[in-house]
Structure 1
Amino acid sequence: MDFFFEEESDSNPNQNEGRDKDPRMLQVENAEAILSRDDDVEENFSSNDISRRVQELVEKIHDRRTNDQKEIESFQQIIVDKVTEVCQQMKQDMYNVYEENSSEMQVKLLELTDVLETCTRLHTELLKASHVLASLQEGLTVSCTAEPMSE
């Protein structure tokens, strides 16, 4: 459209003078200048806008990945805490079983000690009784052999 006006300006210089003075023509020229600048701005704005939006999307993706990583680390920590808690509970249960077993074994060891003491005492009494019987037998044997001689 500027080309059309330029041809007219070359062919009719008087017309340019009138146009320059006519406010409507000035408005048209200003509008054309603004539109041509807006086209450039729109191209730049679109390019800048796209770049900005792409950058925003990349940042959102990065933020989401960071949040995902934080969630995974949090989940991992929860799992580690839970496993640690379960292991502690298992240890405690195991120690409780050890304690119960130890108590039961202590009772059985005391019973065994009592039985062994009784066996030792009985063995000692049996040995004494055996010695007494052996002495009696010797005494009887000596007295039996001594009596026929005296007759």
Structure 2
Amino acid sequence: MDFFFDDDPCLPSSHDGSQKTTSHRITLETEESQNMTEDMDSSRAKSSNIPESEEYTSSIDDISRRLHELVESMNVKRATDPEVLDGYQRKLVEKVTEMCEQMKAHLYTIYEENSHEINVKLQEVTRVLGNCTKLNSELVEARQALTRLRV
């Protein structure tokens, strides 16, 4: 299983000829591959004048410290998440309420405009119905006059 960390000076680096960037690798090895690694590690420890176990302990301690800091950072951020969500919810409720009030005001404005138009049309219908009633009365009078003429 491999873990990669970007250019940490505390960790040993491995260079791959096909890659142009340096990545740091921590490998959890099986017993079979451990023998090959021990030979490479002992030559590295001899060349750097640091005992092999100290190098690994230092790297492990650094990794452990970094992981602990990462977990602590995540916990701090998680602790603030409910506050952030509550703030977001409050702002969202405020915006929705504001939009509802604007829609209500716009709706009442439309009601006012429609009421005015409806009143104008009702007055026109009342005038037309008045004319129809007058014409109907005249028609009844004309029919009665024709009926009297026939007799």
Q: Normalised by the shorter chain, which TM-score bucket?
A: 0.3 to 0.5
| TM-score (structure 1 length as normaliser) | 0.48
- Higher normalized helix content (fraction of residues): 1
Task: Give 1 or 2 for the bigger CA radius of gyration.
Answer: 1
Q: Which has the higher contact order (CA 8 A, sep 6+)?
A: 2
Q: Specify which structure has the higher proportion of strand.
A: 2
